[in-house]
A and B are shown apart, each in its own frame.
Chain A
Amino acid sequence: MTEPGDNGSASGFSRRRLLLGGAAIGGSAALVGAAAGAAVATSVNQRDQQPGDSGTGALGESTVDPYGPHQAGIATPAQASAAIASFSLRPGSSRTDLVKLMKLLSDDIERLAAGEPALADPVPELAAVPANLTVTVGFGPGVFSLDGLAPYRPEWLVDLPVFAGDEIDPAFTGGDILVQICSDDPLTVGHTLRVVSNDAAAFTTTRWIQQGFHNAPGALPSGTVGRNLFGQVDGIVNPTPGTADFDEVVWSDAPAWLVGGTGMVVRRVEFELETWTQLDRAGREEIIGRNLSDGAPLSGGTPESQVDLDAVDERGLSVIAPTAHARLAAPTNPRERILRRPYNFGTGVAGDAGQIFVAFAADPAEQFVGIQRRLAESDLLNTWVTYTGSAIAAVPPGFSPGGWIGETLLEA
């Protein structure tokens, strides 16, 4: 078998090595071919080992623990594929209905995250490849109009304001229940979305669904920050899971039911790829304040470096432009920080490309809204992006075996 990271220049070469050297792990197709002693031509639908992938299916079997003080899919390194689904509770829904729905979804999540079919799974076979599946569930403002829940609404949980320049499309906005499904396998995301939608159907109508993607797993050396469809390295400045800093930025400590939960903000952003590409490279870099080659700040340093907002050039001009995204997005007070976990969307051709911006913050009103206001007012990037959707949710804390998501609120 090829060693991980061995990007054999021609796949034909690696393939030959596979057949001659290590056919035993190559799957039945390879074995049959080798036994026949023929030049192997397997069907295009049979997935053969690729250079650099272990070919063992290990990624598919890989799981993320759904249990714990926090829901999975927040501190989890962003998987390759995602869908965010928004549901509206049916008119006349009661708190009991929501309890039933949350118990059903929690049961689905436990099973699917372990690679087991959901109860009544319409296609049990598709559950077998969790590939780091996580399902994260949040409550939109509407949940708190259910009987008796109003006093429990976090103050910040109100519909996001319409920001300057927003062209909000109701078809991508709002929702009572937000579900973020992420996996390294897009087929698994699809199946999970189907199970979730099936169970949600009795209680809700589907409001919107947005799919998203990153690089294929293993396509980049581990630890690499991926790029968006503009080509920018996107996701450098972010709190690091497992640090006290991360905990402070992300996990809510009030109200009581939300301790260990968080706030989730979704912004759907369309990219104008055509006009973006007409800009010269220097212009494109100035708009962010970081270079395109590796994302290092224009003020110098490595990609990991902070942008130096005070840096000036020989002529005394700011190196990071007053309208640069990184300047405007930088915190103006220590509290104004967020966890960004966006996904790319669209076919990638002009007119059909963008980013589903997902952010988590303990208190989005304090931590997110100010940043977004500054960006809405002055971000030069706005010339090439249009915000078309908006949603906000309180993401309850995690659950444990026998428990369910939302218990701390709904049993209160």
Chain B
Amino acid sequence: MTLTDAWVKAADSGMTGEFGVLTNSGDEEVTIVGGSSPAAGVVELHEVADGQMKAIDGGFVVPAGGTLTLEPGGYHVMLMQLTGPIAPGDEVTTTLECSTGGSFEVVATAKEFAGGNEEYVGGGMGGMDDMNGASQMPSMDGSQPAG
């Protein structure tokens, strides 16, 4: 498993998205079920529906020999409770866990990006008290997810 063309939306604080193309070069379907990163207190796997993002049930399913694109407005890895600012050009390391029990490391470049501002609904995970990254992800500003 790899995440190619990996990038992260630069953010001062709060949370941000990580994107790229998940590529499964194996001959069995793999589901990405979770992740972790020194840059974030919490890592979730998100999807976007009706302009709102939420944790995806099950995980990201990548077919054998196939790909799954993570992009703004679609599937993405959500880095939450950022441990510090992620500035353009920074390299962010994330470990993604597979249903098979294995995991792999991704190095993503932080990029300035104006989009990807879908409102976060629920999830229930922490980090939402930390939303002053709102200048980076403005539409999150108004959301007051139950923490």
Interface residues of A (CB under 8 A from B): 97, 100-101, 103-104, 107, 119-120, 122, 198-199, 201-203
When C-beta atoms are compared, the residue in chain B nearest to A124 turns out to be B71
**Does B114 contact A104, Cβ atoms closer than 8 Å?**
no
Q: A100-B89, A119-B111, A122-B115 are in contact. Are A202 and B10 (CB under 8 A)?
A: yes
Q: A119-B5, A120-B7, A122-B115 are in contact. Are A199 and B88 (CB under 8 A)?
A: yes
When C-beta atoms are compared, the residue in chain B nearest to A99 turns out to be B89
**Does B7 contact A104, Cβ atoms closer than 8 Å?**
no
User: Is the CB of B104 closer than 8 A to any CB of chain A?
Assistant: no
Q: A104-B111, A198-B112, A201-B112 are in contact. Are A120 and B9 (CB under 8 A)?
A: yes
How far is the CB of B136 from the nearest CB of chain A, in Å? 12
Contacts of B111 in A (CB 8 A): 104, 119-120, 198-199
Contacts of B88 in A (CB 8 A): 100, 104, 199, 201-203
When C-beta atoms are compared, the residue in chain B nearest to A119 turns out to be B7
Contacts of B109 in A (CB 8 A): 103-104, 107, 119
CB proximity to A under 8 Å, residues B46-82? none
Contacts of B19 in A (CB 8 A): 120
Q: Which of B5, B7, B111, B113 has the most chain A CB within a 10 Å cutoff?
A: B111
B93-112 interface bits toward A, Cβ cutoff 8 Å, 1 = contact, 0 = none: 00000000000000001011
When C-beta atoms are compared, the residue in chain A nearest to B9 turns out to be A120
Interface residues of B (CB under 8 A from A): 5, 7, 9-10, 19, 87-90, 109, 111-115
Contacts of B9 in A (CB 8 A): 120
Complex CA–CA separation, A128 to B70 (angstroms): 20
Complex CA–CA separation, A202 to B10 (angstroms): 10
Complex CA–CA separation, A100 to B110 (angstroms): 10
**Does A104 contact B5, Cβ atoms closer than 8 Å?**
no
18 A-B contacts (beta carbon < 8 Å): A97-B89, A100-B90, A101-B89, A103-B89, A103-B109, A104-B88, A104-B89, A119-B5, A119-B7, A120-B111, A122-B115, A198-B111, A198-B113, A199-B112, A202-B88, A202-B112, A203-B88, A203-B89
Contacts of B115 in A (CB 8 A): 122
Q: Which of A100, A101, A199 has the most chain B CB within a 10 Å cutoff?
A: A100
**Does B87 contact A202, Cβ atoms closer than 8 Å?**
yes
How far is the CB of B12 from the nearest CB of chain A, in Å? 11
**Does A122 contact B89, Cβ atoms closer than 8 Å?**
no
Contacts of A107 in B (CB 8 A): 109
Q: Which of B5, B88, B90 has the most chain A CB within a 10 Å cutoff?
A: B88
Q: Which 4 pairs of residues, A with B, have the shortest CB-CB distance?
A: A100-B89, A120-B111, A202-B88, A120-B113
How far is the CB of A171 from the nearest CB of chain B, in Å? 25
Contacts of A103 in B (CB 8 A): 89, 109
**Does B114 contact A122, Cβ atoms closer than 8 Å?**
yes
Complex CA–CA separation, A203 to B109 (angstroms): 15
Complex CA–CA separation, A198 to B10 (angstroms): 12
Contacts of B7 in A (CB 8 A): 119-120
Q: Which of A104, A120, A122, A201 has the most chain B CB within a 10 Å cutoff?
A: A120
How far is the CB of A323 from the nearest CB of chain B, in Å? 51
Complex CA–CA separation, A119 to B7 (angstroms): 7
Complex CA–CA separation, A201 to B114 (angstroms): 12
Contacts of A120 in B (CB 8 A): 7, 9, 19, 111-113
Contact of B113 among A97, A101, A104, A122 (CB under 8 A): A122
Contacts of A199 in B (CB 8 A): 88, 111-112
Contacts of B89 in A (CB 8 A): 97, 100-101, 103-104, 202-203
Q: Which of B5, B87, B89 has the most chain A CB within a 10 Å cutoff?
A: B89
How far is the CB of A407 from the nearest CB of chain B, in Å? 15
- Not counting A103-B89, A120-B7, A122-B113, a sample of 13 additional A-B residue pairs whose C-beta atoms are within 8 angstroms of each other reads A100-B89, A101-B89, A103-B109, A119-B7, A120-B111, A120-B112, A122-B115, A199-B111, A199-B112, A201-B88, A202-B88, A202-B89, A202-B112
